[in-house]
Chains A and B, each alone.
Chain A
C-alpha cells in the first residue's frame, strides 16, 4: 500500500521533470546561425579540443577573433585553443583558466589585458546586455565549482534581484520567453551542436577598412579597479601554481582605444612579476597589418588575413621566448590537426563564397 502511494507521487514527478527538461532543451538558444559567440565556450569540451594544447588563450573578442590556432599549427606546429566568449570579464577568464587546468596543463596561458578596464559587472554599461553576455560565457560551461564561482562573480544587480542563481541552474527560467521564437534551428540542434569555431577562433572574412583615427577621449581616472587587479593576481598565481607561463598581450585592435596610462600600469606589473608582456599595437608594422585589408569591422577586430599575420608573428615569440615545441612530427597530433586544417579551409572557402555573394547582391 505504502509502495503504491510513493509510486503515485514519484511517477508524475518524474514525468513532469522529463517534460520540463525537454522543454528547457528546446528553449535554450542554440547560437548556430546567429550570435555564434554563445556556442563557443561549450566547444572546448569536445574530445579533440582539449588535453594536448601547449598554449591556451582565454578572453574576449580580442583573442577569439585575432589569433588563429590553425595558423600556429601550420607555421610552428604549436597546439593551441582559444577559450573565448563575447565581452568576457577578467573573473570569468580566471574561472575558465581554473577549469582548463582540470582538463590539461598547457605550457602557456595567454591573457589579453583589455579586460582590466572592467572592474564590476555594472562597469560594462547596460545591465541587460551584460546579462546576455554573461549567459554566453556561463551557460556553455559544464557544471563545476568554477562555473558556480564565475556565476557568483558575474551576476548583475538586476540578476541578483530576480532569479539569481536559480536561472543558471534551471535555464528554462531565463529562456521561457523564447517560446514565441522557437524555430527549425531549435529542433535541428536539440541534442547536438555544430562547431562554429576552429579551436576557438571565430573566423571573419569580410573586409571593412579603418576610416580614420579613433578619438582618445580623456578619462577622469586611468587606474584599473581593485577587483581587476585582484583577479590578475589570481591569474598569475594560478598559472604559477600549475607551472604554466602567463603571457600578457594587448591585441592590435584599435578600438576600444588603449591609453598610455593603462600601458604604463601593465608594463610595471609585468616587470614587477617577471611576466612576458607584448603590446601588439606597437608591433603593427612588424606584424604587417594593413588596416585597409586586415580588419572586418573598421579596426575593432582583425579578419582572417590579419589574424593569420598576427598568429605568424606571435608563433615566433611562443617558439623562441616560451620554448613551445613543434609537434608536427607527432603522427597522432598531425592527423588531428590535418583534419582541423581541412575544416578551417572549408570554412574559409564557404565564408568567402557567402561574402562574395553578399558583395554581388549589393552591386
Chain B
C-alpha cells in the first residue's frame, strides 16, 4: 500500500477510529495488527524477512538481558567470595558471550540485507535470474528492509551497550520493528526515543490529529505537485546529449525532486504517526540552508547519519587499533596524524552509507565524494578561520547567503551521482561543466523539450517558492503552531487551498507512476 493512495488514507482513517474508540490499553496491539496489515499489502512473500529480523533480534536481546541479569545475580551472590580479578574475568566472559550473540545476529541480518541488495535489486539480480532455478530473485527488495533492519540492529547494540532496556514482550518488539509509518522510507528511530510514545496510551486530541493531517497534506504537496511533476524532465536530462549547462540544470532539478520526494514522504510518515499521537524523530531540518557540508549532513537524512555515527563511526574511531594508530601517527605527523584515525572512521562510515544505498559503484563514489569534501573542509578549517577573521564582510548576511548557495550547488553536483549507474558518464558530464558554457539551452527551446509544459514550469516555480517560504517561515518555530494563531477562516482557507492544489496539480493517476518514493528502493 503506497502512502500516495486513497487506500492508505482509508486504512489510516479506519485505524484512527479504532485506535481512539477501543480501550486505550490495546492501542499498541492495534498498531501492531495495522502495521502487519500494511506490510502484507506489499506482499506476503516479504513477511518472512521482517519476521526473521524481529525474531532474531528479540532472541538476541533476550539472551543478552538474561546474561546480564545472571551476571548481576552471580556477582551479588558471590560478592564476598570472588576476587576483583575473578569478577573482572567473569564480566569479560559474559560480555564476550553477549558480543558473540550480538555479532551473530548482526551478521545474519546484514547478511540477508547484503544478499537482498546484491541479488534482488537491479542490475545484479538479472545475472542470476536468467537461470530458472533462481527465479525467486525477481521478488525485489522487501519493503523498508534497510530501515527496519537498521532500527532493530541499533536497538540490539544499545541493549548490548546497556543503553536501552531489553523488551520482554516479543509483540512489542514486533511493533517497534514494523511500525508502519516508518516502513516505507524511515525515519530510523532509536528505541529510547520511540518506546514511550509508541507503547503508551494516547487520548484523542483534536489538535494533534489536525497537526498530523496538515503535515501529511504538506508531504503530499511536496511529493505529488513538485517531485513527481519534475521527474519527467530529470528522465530526459539524463540523456547523453545533455551536458554543460544542461547537466547543471539537471543537478538543480534533481535537488528539487529528491527534496520534495524524500522530505514529502517523511512528512507523510511523521504526520501519520502524529495523528495517532506518536512522535517520530525529524529526518530533515531545512538542509538546503546549510552553510557547510558538516552542517548539511546534520540536517539531511538525520536519522541515518545519526545511526552511522553511533554504530559505525564512533566504535571505529575509539577502537583499540585506532587509538594505537592515533598515537603512532601523532608522533610521526603531528596534528594531522592525530586526525588520521578520524578520517579513516569517516571513510569507512561513508563507504557504509554508500553501500546502504545500494551495491552500485555510483553509490560508493557518492560516499567517497562526500567523505573527500568533509576531510578537505576539516583540513582547510584553520585557513577559513583566518580568512573570516581578516575580512569583515564574512560576518555579513550576504556572505551567509553565498555560503548557502555554494553548499547547495556543491551538494547538487555530488548528489547527481545517484542518477548515473555508469560512473564514467557522471564524470564526463561533470567535466563538461568546465568547458561547455552552453547557456543558450536556457532560452533556445531546450527547456521546453524536456516533457514539461509552460504550466508545469509555472506550477513548479510557485511550488518551489512556497517550499522556500515555508522553510524560511519555519526557522523561528513550528509553522503549524504559528498558523494556529491565525484567524480560523484564514487558516482553513489556506489548508483547503493547499488540498485543492494537491488534488488538481498533483501528478498522479493514469500516465503517472507516483506510487513509489525514491528512498523506498533503499
Question: B7 contacts the other chain (Cβ, under 8 Å)?
Answer: yes
Task: Choose, from A95-103, A176-184, A185-193, A207-215, the stretch at the interface.
Answer: A176-184
From the candidates B7, B500, B508, B510, name the one contacting A158 in the complex (CB within 8 A).
Answer: B510
Contact A166 B510 (CB under 8 A): no
Among residues 423 to 461 in chain B, which have CB atoms less than 8 Å away from a CB atom of chain A? 455
Which stretch of A4-12, A54-62, A307-315 is in the interface? A4-12
Identify which of A13-21, A36-44, A70-78 touches chain B: A13-21
- Interface residues in B, total, Cβ within 8 A: 21
Instruction: List, in ascending order, chain A residues with CB within 8 A of B499's CB.
Output: 16, 20
Q: Give chain B residues whose Cβ lies under 8 Å from the Cβ of A159.
A: 510
Q: Is A122 part of the binding interface, using a Cβ–Cβ cutoff of 8 Å?
A: no
Closest partner residue, chain A, to B454 (CB atom):
A180
Question: Which of these, B495, B500, B506, B510, contacts A162 with CB under 8 Å?
Answer: B510
A173 on interface, CB distance cutoff 8 Å:
yes
Tell whether A176 pairs with B6 under 8 Å between CB atoms, given A8-B206, A12-B496, A162-B512: no
Q: Does B104 make an interface contact (CB < 8 A)?
A: no
Q: Which residues from A are CB-within-8-Å of B321?
A: none
Check B496–A16 contact: CB distance below 8 A: yes
* A173 and B508 contact, CB distance less than 8 A: yes
The reply to whether A5 and B206 form a contact with Cβ atoms under 8 Å apart is yes
| Residue A110 lies at the interface, judged by CB distance under 8 Å to chain B | no
Flag whether A167 is at the interface (Cβ < 8 A): yes
B23 contacts partner chain A, Cβ-Cβ < 8 Å: no
Given contacts A5-B206, A23-B504, A173-B6, are A162 and B509 in contact (CB under 8 A)? yes
Residue A263 is within 8 A (CB to CB) of chain B in the complex: no
Complex contact B515–A162 (CB within 8 A): yes
**Chain B minimum-CB-distance residue to A127:** B510
- How many whole Å from B225's CB to the nearest CB in chain A? 11
Does B382 have its Cβ within 8 Å of any Cβ on chain A? no
Cα of A15 to Cα of B492 in the assembled complex, Å? 10
Contact code string B1-15 (vs A, CB < 8 Å = 1, else 0): 000011100000000
Central interface residue in A8, A9, A172, A180, by most chain B CB within 10 Å: A180
A170 and chain B: residue at smallest CB distance: B6
Are A19 and B500 within 8 A (Cβ)?
yes
CB < 8 Å: which of B7, B503, B511, B515 contacts A23? B503
Give the shortest distance, in Å, between A87 (CB) and chain B (any CB).
17
Contacts of B496 in A (CB 8 A): 12, 15-16, 19
Contact B511 A128 (CB under 8 A): yes
B492 touches A163 (CB 8 A): no
Interface 0/1 of B111-145, CB less than 8 Å to A: 00000000000000000000000000000000000
| Chain B residue contacts of A8, Cβ below 8 A | 206
Chain B CB within 8 A of A174 CB = yes
Q: Which residues of A contact B509 (CB under 8 A)?
A: 162-163, 167, 173-174, 176-177
B63 at the interface (CB under 8 A from A): no
Q: How far apart sit A177 and B225, CA to CA, in the bound complex (Å)?
A: 12
Binary contact track A156-168/B, C-beta < 8 Å → 1, others 0:
0011011100110
Choose among B492, B503, B513 the residue that contacts A20 (Cβ–Cβ < 8 A).
B503
When C-beta atoms are compared, the residue in chain B nearest to A172 turns out to be: B503
User: What residue in chain A is nearest B514 (Cβ atoms)?
Assistant: A162
Q: Which B-chain residue is minimally distant from A169 (CB atoms)?
A: B6
Q: What is the minimal beta-carbon distance from B507 to any residue of chain A, in angstroms?
A: 8
A158 to B495 Cα, complex, angstroms: 32
A29 to nearest B CB, angstroms?
A: 14
Say how far A253's CB is from chain B's closest CB, in angstroms: 29
**B505 interfacial contact with A, CB 8 Å:** yes
Q: Which residues of A contact B206 (CB under 8 A)?
A: 5, 8-9
Question: How far apart sit A19 and B509, CA to CA, in the bound complex (Å)?
Answer: 21
* A131 proximal to B (CB < 8 A): yes
List of B residues within 8 angstroms of A5 by Cβ: 206
Task: Evaluate contact between A174 and B510: CB separation under 8 angstroms.
Answer: yes
CB neighbours (8 Å) of A172 from chain B are 503
Closest to A12 in B: B492
Q: Which residues of B contact A176 (CB under 8 A)?
A: 503-506, 508-509
User: Within the assembled complex, what's the spacing in Å between the Cα atoms of A177 and B505?
Assistant: 7
A23: B residues at CB distance < 8 A = 500, 503-504
Q: Which of B477-522 contact A (CB under 8 A)?
A: 492, 495-496, 499-500, 503-506, 508-513, 515
Q: Which residue of B lies closest to A11 (CB)?
A: B492
Chain A residues whose C-beta falls within 8 Å of the C-beta of B495 in the assembled complex: 12
Residue of A nearest to B512 (CB): A162
The docked-state distance in angstroms from the alpha carbon of A28 to that of B6 is 19
Measured between alpha carbons, how far is A20 from B510 in the docked complex, in Å? 20
Residue of A16, A161, A162, A179 ringed by the most chain B CB atoms within 10 A: A162
Q: Would B510 and A131 count as touching, CB distance under 8 A?
A: yes
A177 to B499, CA, bound (A): 15
Residues in A with CB closer than 8 Å to B505 are 176, 179
Most central of A8, A15, A163, A166 by chain B CB within 10 Å:
A163
Measured between beta carbons, the chain A residues less than 8 angstroms from B7 are 166
Residues of B within 8 A of A12 (CB): 492, 495-496
Determine the distance from Cα of A176 to Cα of B225 in the docked complex, in whole angstroms.
Answer: 12
Whether A179 touches B512, Cβ cut-off 8 Å, given contacts A16-B499, A19-B496, is no
- Docked Cα-Cα span, A162 to B455, in Å, equals 24
| Complex CA distance for A272 and B229, rounded to whole angstroms | 56
Determine the distance from Cα of A59 to Cα of B500 in the docked complex, in whole angstroms.
Answer: 38
Complexed CA–CA distance, A173 and B224 (Å):
12
Specify which chain A residues have a CB less than 8 angstroms from the CB of B512 in the assembled complex.
162
Alpha-carbon distance between A131 and B515 when the two chains are bound, in angstroms: 19
Inter-chain contact B510/A179, CB cutoff 8 Å: no
Q: Which residue of B lies closest to A16 (CB)?
A: B496
A179: chain B residues at CB < 8 Å are 504-505
Could you say which residues of chain B place their CB within 8 Å of the CB of A16? 496, 499
- Whole-angstrom distance between the Cβ of A156 and the nearest chain B Cβ: 9
With both chains docked as a complex, state the minimum distance between the C-beta of B238 and any C-beta of chain A, in angstroms.
Answer: 24
Q: Are A180 and B455 in contact (CB under 8 A)?
A: yes
Per the bound structure, the CA–CA distance linking A56 and B6 in Å amounts to 38
C-alpha spacing A159/B508, complex, angstroms: 12
| A132 nearest in chain B by CB position | B510
- Which residues in A have their C-beta under 8 angstroms from that of B492? 12, 15
Determine if A166 and B6 form an interchain contact, defined as CB atoms under 8 angstroms apart.
yes
- A163 / chain B contacts, CB cutoff of 8 Å: 5-6, 508-510
Instruction: For the complex formed, measure the closest distance between the CB of B170 and the CB atoms of chain A, giving whole angstroms.
Output: 36
CB neighbours of B513 from chain A (8 A): 162
Give 9 new A-B contacts, CB below 8 A, not counting A163-B6, A173-B508, A176-B505: A8-B206, A20-B499, A20-B503, A162-B512, A162-B515, A166-B6, A167-B509, A167-B510, A180-B455
Query: What are 16 A-to-B residue pairs whose CB atoms are below 8 Å?
Result: A5-B206, A9-B206, A12-B495, A15-B492, A15-B496, A16-B496, A19-B500, A20-B500, A162-B509, A163-B5, A163-B508, A166-B6, A167-B509, A167-B510, A174-B510, A176-B508
B interface residues with partner A (beta carbon < 8 Å)? 5-7, 206, 455, 492, 495-496, 499-500, 503-506, 508-513, 515
